[in-house]
Amino acid sequence: MKKTAFLTLDKAMEITAQIPTPFHIYDEAGIRANARALKKAFSWNKGFREFFAVKATPNPYILRILNEEGCGCDCATYTELLLAEAVGITGHDVMFSSNVTPKKDMQKAREMGAYINLDDATHVDFLAALGPVPETVCLRYNPGGSFSLGNTIMDMPRDAKYGMTEDQMAGAINRLMKLGTKHFGIHAFLASNTTTNEYYPELAGQLFRLAVRLRNATGADFRFINLSGGIGVDYRPEQPCCNIQTIGDGVRTRYEQIMTPAGMGDVAIFTELGRFMLAPYGHLVSTVLHQKHIYREYVGLDACAADLMRPAMYGAYHHITVLGKEDAILDHVYDVIGGLCENNDKFAIERSLPQINVGDIVVIHDTGAHGYSMGYNYNGKLRSAEVLLKEDGSFQLIRRAETPMDYFATLDMTEFQFHN
């Protein structure tokens, strides 16, 4: 499917007159429409709730938009909890899914009244040491082995650091019930960025059967099953695109096959989606600074891997559009690069693109999740701005770009002096 930027050249020129590139921009209309489509796909489940994975796009303006669409927050750290709290998202609107959890983080989650998702059986006593255990506790499952769809291995849970075995979960449930916990949830994350409509239904089937077994073994009252994340996006134009309605219908079929006959037809379904919720609705906008002609043709941008790590770290594909040249012939081959002193600082390698000139504005697609949030300051590169493109076509700076003084703010500079 053709990739089309939600940002036009005219709008980009209007924005860059006030906010210099590089910056990440988010499409409010697209974010809201997608959240509504997810909610509709799972509307058959009375208790359905999406807990947006804050790590994907940790900006309060984004969290507020999603909260207005009925989403809660999935938080993993103290800082993410603070961010959710600042937006007014607390209590059971927060799912705290953490691992190697510091005491401070767990205590904050308790204070906020968040759902607490325990990653390990030893965390039961860790939680109990902080005070009375919550009435509702979630447990994270790791089935081990491989996770497959048909003959295709999707991921290897046995290699993952997350979750408990089934026997450990049963022991944790019994221990928690003795300590006063009355209700339980189950959580698992078994594959990442899947682009098949079968992942969630298969995962759901496994977790539904697990819930029935644990209910029968322990007598536990399960209130929700958290399918976590894993629904992906079509980064490449030729990739298949998930259909969220088909996915929701598939989960419903498994639910009615397994949960309803077991007398568990009132259990809520939760999700913790990040990439699916935001990635397609974010662009990294950059300006061409230089061109270089040696053994390959290079296009150098004012953005770099510090603004979008995924291509350098994973070799991940992100589609590129040259604004104003959307329909031009792709008759040039370029490496599109940033300015870090690392040879892997490349957004594209030998990519067919239209002729590019210095000063052109380039859009890098699908950066709305795990884009800005994975940024860093190597080479003293400063984190870029974030901009919200509103439904009415106006725009708002929702995070300013860093300055050198931000970069130096944590240093003790009493013995030194800067000269601009």
Asked if residues 236 and 190 have their Cβ atoms less than 8 Å apart, the reply is: no
- What pLDDT is stored for residue 162 in this prediction? 87
- What pLDDT is stored for residue 192 in this prediction? 81
Beta strands 94-97 and 115-118 are: parallel
Peptide bond into 143 cis (omega under 30): no
Beta strands 23-27 and 282-293 are: antiparallel
DSSP one-letter code for 396 = E
Angle separating helix axes 199-218 and 166-179, nearest 10 degrees: 50
Asked if residues 83 and 63 have their Cβ atoms less than 8 Å apart, the reply is: yes
- Architecture per CATH, 28-279: Alpha-Beta Barrel (3.20)
**Residues with Cβ within 8 Å of residue 154, at least 6 apart in sequence:** 146, 147, 148, 190, 191, 194, 199
Asked if residues 390 and 28 have their Cβ atoms less than 8 Å apart, the reply is: yes
Distances in Å between the Cα of 156 and the Cα atoms of 53, 144, 187, 243, 310 are 22, 7, 17, 24, 21
Matching CATH number, 280-408, of 3.40.50.300, 3.40.50.720, 2.40.37.10, 1.10.3720.10: 2.40.37.10
- Tokens 């040879």 identify what position? 343
Residue extents of the structural domains in the chain: 28-279, 280-408
Q: What is the DSSP string of 338-384?
A: --SSSTT-EEEEEEEE----TT-EEEE-S-TTTTGGG---GGGPPP-
Instruction: List the pLDDT tens digit at each of the 420 positions of the chain.
Output: 789 999 999 999 999 999 999 999 999 999 999 999 999 999 999 999 999 999 999 999 999 999 999 999 999 999 999 999 999 999 999 999 999 999 999 999 999 999 999 999 999 999 999 999 999 999 999 987 666 665 455 567 777 788 999 999 999 999 999 999 999 999 998 888 888 899 999 999 999 999 999 999 999 999 999 999 999 999 999 988 899 999 999 999 999 999 999 999 999 999 999 999 999 999 999 999 999 999 999 999 999 999 999 999 999 999 999 999 999 999 999 999 999 999 999 999 999 999 999 999 999 999 999 999 999 999 999 999 999 999 999 999 999 999 999 999 999 988 988 887
- What pLDDT is stored for residue 340 in this prediction? 97
Asked if residues 219 and 211 have their Cβ atoms less than 8 Å apart, the reply is: no
- What pLDDT is stored for residue 155 in this prediction? 60
Q: What is the 3-state secondary structure (H, E, C) of 106-163?
A: HHHHHHHCCEEEECCCCHHHHHHCCCCCCCEEEEEECCCCCEEECCEEEECHHHCCCC
